[in-house]
Amino acid sequence: MTHLQPAEHQPFRLSMLIYDRRYRSLTIQAVVFIAVMLAGAWLVHNTLENLARMGKTFSFSFLWARAGYDIPFSLIPYTATDTHFRALVVGLLNTLLVSFIGCILATIVGVIAGVLRLSNNWLVSKMMTVYVEIFRNVPLLLWILVILAIFTEVMPSPRDYKGDNAAASMILFDSVAPTNRYTAVPRLAMESPPEPLTIAGTPISGTLIAFGGALLAAYLIFRWVRRRATDRQNATGRRPATWWIGLLLFAVPLAALMLLFKVHLIPPKLTGFNFTGGANLDNGFVVLVLALTLYTGAFIAEIVRAGIMSVSRGQSEAAFALGLRARPTMGLVILPQALRVIVPPLISQFLNLTKNSSLAIAVGYPDLRATLGGTTLNQTGREMEAMMLMMGIYLALSLLISAAMNVYNARVRLKER
Amino acid sequence: MTKTVFFGAVAAAAVLGSTGAYAAEGDTLRTVKQRGELICGVNPGLVGFAAPDANGNWSGFDISLCRAIAAAVVGDPNKVRFVPTTGQTRFTALSSGEVDVLTRNSTWSFQRDTELALDFPAVNYYDGQGFLVRKDLGVTSAKELDGATVCIQTGTTTELNLADYFRANNITYQPVNIDSNAEGEQQYLAGACDAYTTDASGLAATRAAFADPENHIILPEIISKEPLAPAVRHGDNNWGDIVRWTLFALVAGEEYGVTSANVEELSKSSTNPEVQRLLGQTDNLGGMIGLDAEWAKRAIMANGNYGEIFAATIGEQTPIGLARGLNALWTQGGLMYAPPFR
Amino acid sequence: MSEVHAETVPFVRGTMLPEAPPPAAERGAIHWLRANLFSGWVNTILTFVGLFVLWWLFQHFYPWFRHSVWNASSMAECRTLITERWGEGAGGGCFGLVRERWNQFLFGFYPPAEYWRPISAFWLLFLALAPVLFTESRKLRWIVVGVASVMAFALSMLMGAPDPVLICLAVGIVLWVVLIEYIPRAALIVSVIFPFLAVWLLWGGSIWGPATILAGAVLGLAVWGALSRFGALAVLAGLAVAVLWWWFLSSQAAIDLQRLLPLELPKMESRGFGGFLLAITIGVSAIVMSLPLGIILALARQSDLPIVKGFAVIFIEFIRGVPLITLLFVASLLLNYFLPPGTNFDIILRVIIMVTLFASAYMAEVIRGGLASLPRGQYEAAGALGLNYWKMQRLIILPQALKVSIPGIVGTFIGVFKDTTLVTFVGLFDPLKQLADTIRATFEWKGAYWEPYIFSGLIFFILCFSMSRYSMYLEQRLKRDHR
């Protein structure tokens, strides 16, 4: 390594800012930085001026004012007398719920469709191709509208269930009633629920503690059992069967608790205008989940297919040559390699699904955009604050998902040798 | 190549930007005159009030008011551009200067007048929130709607009224949020909601368009006051005056029997001093608001006086079939009352 | 020996047996069925499930299509016709809606007399893209160019374009085709005229407006070229000249030229844009404008200047992290706040700006992928030749990286094109929802839910499917080139 001596002795000249490589990058960065800052300042200045001209202020205090509107679908208790902030939380939880369920279902649909598309059954693989192409090449909004129209136009209304010779009848042993407003399903209820525990002043549901505790304990014990089994396998080459222990561990405490609390199902019943008693799954929710699932599922199917095809044939041939059967080949050889290809685009599909859930606007499902970015924005006239808050929340969600993806990528990369 | 494509973008921006206008500076009138065209924010589709036909020609009650203002200000009732706005975007469209005046079944309320920095110069339709239900539901009063599913447009005052009304009467309901009137209609007709609630006039317009209007009734309860008014930006008082007095000119026209048919003749022959002032024979009232003397004459000529507009767009002879009710002249037991033109 | 041989080989066939046909189970339809549909019980079950689903779909949807009526002018008329023909209770599609309102789905409220303008702009787009997109196969290029030329001319004539326009169109197309075939490099540069031409065709007004702006760009490039030995200063000088031209001279020049040689089309309001005209306008202009932005962002993100890289990362991640719908609401609710008081853009232009920013973030990622796919040696070789950063990018890196990215760019376009339907939520007449709602709001077509969805869905499918197939084909070809 030879040092570039002369450069150090050269006196600094202004022209070096442009022509000398060492300084030029600094110059460029300084210029870009100043330009971006100036542009930002210009935007902020304009905004302030416009706000002042319209006599508006910039403040988030509206979040604590009374919301005054009802939300048809909420995971936490909410009434019209609550604050806009609580409405925001309701919307956010609804967004998270629909995204979460959508991601799970889309993955299931996508994996099934992707695998079936590779199957050697001509009919099924062609049908899956048609499904994937149709859903990928038509806007999501159309699917939402079409499924919404199917639900409102084709499903019977609750009134059709009325009377002795009703136009519609409930399905699945009179427990589920699909209607054009919601799907009425039975609800789990407890006759003698446990008392809530009060820890540090906040009451925590006893049910949660009981069931959560039981599940956690079962999981921990089962882990221990499996470790024992692995030790045994390493020592003797034979793995003792553990599945029935696991089944018992999970099932017995749950059954016991359910008996203890007298858990039972309340079927939905038609009273007055609507079904009551059971749980009514809002159609907006069902439609949105269905549309997001089918649309994203088509993309995931392609990802899965590409992932499986990316593992070269030699891998499975080698596995067969080693004497592995079809299932271990899939589980130990193909899938781990395919997953490395599948997961990154899969996560970005989850991201897309979460963002696309804002299309709830088309079905009237009260997600974050509908509460904070819709009614709250409209009733308070705080478009600047509401929009900034909403974009910030969506951004935070996306960054969280990307962070999870990066962690996964790092872990997968470590195993690669 | 890529660089030059970018310049293409600049070109597009320049070409389009030049059609944009400078508004919202407290001199909407000057802007409109310069542009030679009025921009109205309207409902994207509510038959009778504002709806485009197959060729994109707009018509309706709100549209007629816009045309009258355009006739008064620009001199031609067809020099109007209609900007469809949703319930969510309408007020921002106005305050950002995208539209000059918003005639979109908007309720005049305290908060909108003050906090949203709007002005509602005068009421053009006195309305109230009602409920539309199927006849065979067997409901005769809104109080019997306990547990019902109600379709409601988001971003409207009706959303808040509904919550208040059911709470006050201690009954429950299940809201179904919809985004537009078309969607509400679809959901209601499919039975996805038991009742559809919005302004009673809107309900009548909606019902009129059904295949079987006789099977649907509007419940007698009117649960709120909904004074529908054109809206302008707060702070431009002269422009507000123009909108206000154009509307009053239409009302006064009805009161004094000035119609689109006889306005030309009356402007020459009328001996009624009020009519003479209205039509610009004497006193040049128009000059006081920055218009010419014949502004009101043109406004009435555009689509007739208030009564004619009402009859032609939403009146009893139309499929909408609304009675004048509160919107009759004060001389006939209504609330339509134009202050004196002097 | 021969005896032994005779004993061990009792029979030697002297001639080949005639080829026997394969056993019945191993050939023809039966073999195909067995191999592809019934090769094991899982497969058999799958086949039956598939058949059941097909039968179910057929049973539920076929009658509706069979009963469809094309020649009714309202929903009520259509329903009576269906009842007359197929009896009480029969349901069917009322495609009379499509027959009567197809033009609205395609053009929104664009005046019918001017339909030839968007149509010719649309087909000319393919001609302009030919030297960029369809260079891989001569046969395909000829097909595309041929179809686009014929369509542009024939449809314009059909829609009543004035004769001078038709003559210009014909001459232009012929010249253009010659240019593509004989001087493809020049065609690549000349295709830059298209955006200006399209803007003029769609929005109308004097041709000198876009032309003088294009002239400014040319002027700037000329100054840059003339001063190129001064390096970065030349870029600045070129930029300054162009900006000065646009700022002070171009509008006056346009007015003067218009006075000298009036060439004008009736001016169109953006408000009248609707349906697929709106979707394609937004989609194409967003992609075209996002290309340079995306390249800059991708280069910035790849650069080793931490501040520049940081800004690029923040911008890209911000745009990719929020739903498009919030950006559209920003366009409709907030954009006016960010601009100097009194500025007021058309909502369509504001939407195009936001969609452009949206697309540019995705474009940057696509191009970054293209840059990353180049072998390190390309950079090193360029460095060894003594090229500076911009020369390296312009002559070595970008041409290769962009070529590799074309499938990704087409994919981004498909995504953006599908997403343009979201403009319905800021009150624009998109083909899926707002237009359908407007048509449904009329007395005649109340209650027509499925027909508009089927019609516009079909158009979307045809456009997106063919684009995605083409990009897959391109990907295959490019992959082969690189091996």
The verdict on residue C87 lying in a domain is: no
Q: Do B163 and A380 touch (CB under 8 A)?
A: no
Per-residue confidence (pLDDT) for residue C141, from 0 to 100: 83
Per-residue confidence (pLDDT) for residue C483, from 0 to 100: 42
> Between B2-17 and C193-203, two packed helices, what is the crossing angle to 10 degrees?
20
A296 neighbors A102 (Cβ within 8 angstroms): yes
Residue C461: which domain range?
270-483
Tell me the per-residue pLDDT of B54-90, one tens digit each, with 9 for 90 and over: 777 889 999 999 999 999 999 999 999 888 887 777 8
The verdict on residue C414 lying in a domain is: yes
Q: How far is B172 from chain C (nearest CA, A)?
A: 30
* Count of domains for chain C: 1
Rounded-to-5 percentages of helix, strand, coil across chain B: 45, 15, 40
Mean pLDDT, all residues of chain B: 84
The verdict on residue C380 lying in a domain is: yes
Cα–Cα distance for residue pair A287/A146, rounded to 1 Å: 9
C204 touches chain B (CB under 8 A): no
Q: Do A127 and C54 touch (CB under 8 A)?
A: yes
The whole model's pTM is what?
0.84
Chains that touch B (3 or more CB pairs under 8 A): A, C
pLDDT < 70 stretches in chain A: 1-10, 16-19, 163-165, 172, 200-201, 203, 413-417
C316 touches chain A (CB under 8 A): no
Per-residue confidence (pLDDT) for residue A417, from 0 to 100: 46
Per-residue confidence (pLDDT) for residue A152, from 0 to 100: 84
H or E segment to which residue C265 belongs? strand C264-265
Tell me the per-residue pLDDT of B262-308, one tens digit each, with 9 for 90 and over: 988 888 888 888 888 888 888 888 888 888 888 999 999 999 999 99
Query: Where are the extended beta strands (E) located within C346-396?
Result: none
Domains for chain B: give ranges and CATH numbers: 28-126+228-332 (3.40.190.10), 129-224 (3.40.190.10)
* Chain pair B-C, CB pairs under 8 angstroms: 176
Tokens linked to C340: 């100097």
Average pLDDT over residues B166-180: 86
pLDDT in tens, chain C (483 residues): 555 555 666 677 888 888 888 777 777 777 788 777 777 788 888 889 999 999 999 988 888 888 888 888 888 888 888 888 888 777 788 888 888 888 889 998 888 888 889 999 999 898 888 887 777 778 888 888 889 888 888 888 888 888 888 888 889 888 888 888 888 778 877 888 888 888 888 888 888 888 888 888 888 888 888 877 776 677 788 888 888 888 877 777 878 887 887 778 888 878 788 889 999 999 999 998 999 999 999 999 988 888 999 999 999 999 999 999 999 988 888 887 888 876 767 788 889 999 999 999 999 999 998 888 888 888 889 889 888 888 888 888 888 888 888 888 999 999 999 999 999 888 888 888 888 888 887 777 877 888 899 999 999 999 999 999 988 888 887 775 544
Q: How far is C218 from chain B (nearest CA, A)?
A: 8
Per-residue confidence (pLDDT) for residue A96, from 0 to 100: 94
Tokens linked to A10: 């050269």
Tell me the per-residue pLDDT of C111-163, one tens digit each, with 9 for 90 and over: 888 888 999 999 989 888 888 777 777 888 888 888 988 888 888 888 888 88
Among the partner-chain residues B16, B25, B86, the one whose CB lies closest to the CB of C342 is B25
Per-residue confidence (pLDDT) for residue B7, from 0 to 100: 40
C104 contacts in chain B (CB < 8 Å): 54
The verdict on residue C325 lying in a domain is: yes
Query: Where are the extended beta strands (E) located within B49-171?
Result: 51-52, 58-59, 80-84, 101-102, 118-119, 125-127, 129-134, 148-153
Q: 3-state SS of C129-195? A: HHHHHCCCCHHHHHHHHHHHHHHHHHHHHHCCCCHHHHHHHHHHHHHHHHHHHHCHHHHHHHCCHHH
Among the partner-chain residues A56, A284, A375, the one whose CB lies closest to the CB of B159 is A375
Per-residue confidence (pLDDT) for residue A290, from 0 to 100: 94
- In this structure, what DSSP letter does residue C248 have? I
> Which amino acid, residue C375?
P
Cα–Cα distance for residue pair B30/C118, rounded to 1 Å: 34
Q: How far is B209 from chain A (nearest CA, A)?
A: 18
Contacts of C59 (CB under 8 A, 6+ apart): none
Q: Do C213 and B53 touch (CB under 8 A)?
A: no
Q: Do B2 and C292 touch (CB under 8 A)?
A: yes
B211 contacts in chain C (CB < 8 Å): 75-76, 446-447
The verdict on residue C35 lying in a domain is: no
Average pLDDT over residues B178-186: 81
End-to-end alpha carbon distance in chain B: 66
Per-residue confidence (pLDDT) for residue A164, from 0 to 100: 66
Cα–Cα distance for residue pair B333/B126, rounded to 1 Å: 13
C348 contacts in chain B (CB < 8 Å): 16
Report residue B25's pLDDT band, with 50, 70 and 90 as the boundaries: very low
Among the partner-chain residues B8, B25, B186, the one whose CB lies closest to the CB of C288 is B8
**Whether residue B9 has pLDDT greater than 70:** no
Q: Do C196 and B11 touch (CB under 8 A)?
A: yes
Tell me the per-residue pLDDT of C355-379, one tens digit each, with 9 for 90 and over: 999 999 999 999 998 888 888 888 8
B178 contacts in chain A (CB < 8 Å): 364
The verdict on residue C45 lying in a domain is: no
The verdict on residue C417 lying in a domain is: yes
Q: Do A149 and B186 touch (CB under 8 A)?
A: yes
Cα–Cα distance for residue pair C349/C430, rounded to 1 Å: 15
* Closest alpha carbon within chain A to C32: A122
Among the partner-chain residues B8, B16, B182, the one whose CB lies closest to the CB of C346 is B16
* CATH code for the domain of C429: 1.10.3720.10
- Interface confidence, given as ipTM, is 0.86
Which whole-number Å values give the CA distances from B302 to A82, A412, B74, C156, in the listed order? 49, 73, 12, 37
Query: Where are the extended beta strands (E) located within C352-468?
Result: none
Q: Do C325 and A398 touch (CB under 8 A)?
A: no
Chains that touch C (3 or more CB pairs under 8 A): A, B
Tell me the per-residue pLDDT of A251-300, one tens digit each, with 9 for 90 and over: 888 888 888 877 777 888 887 778 877 778 888 899 999 999 999 999 99
Mutate which of B3, B10, B15 to disrupt the C interface (most C C-beta within 10 Å)? B15
Percent residues over pLDDT 70 in chain B: 92
DSSP-derived 3-state class of residue C269: coil
The verdict on residue C366 lying in a domain is: yes
Average pLDDT over residues B90-94: 83
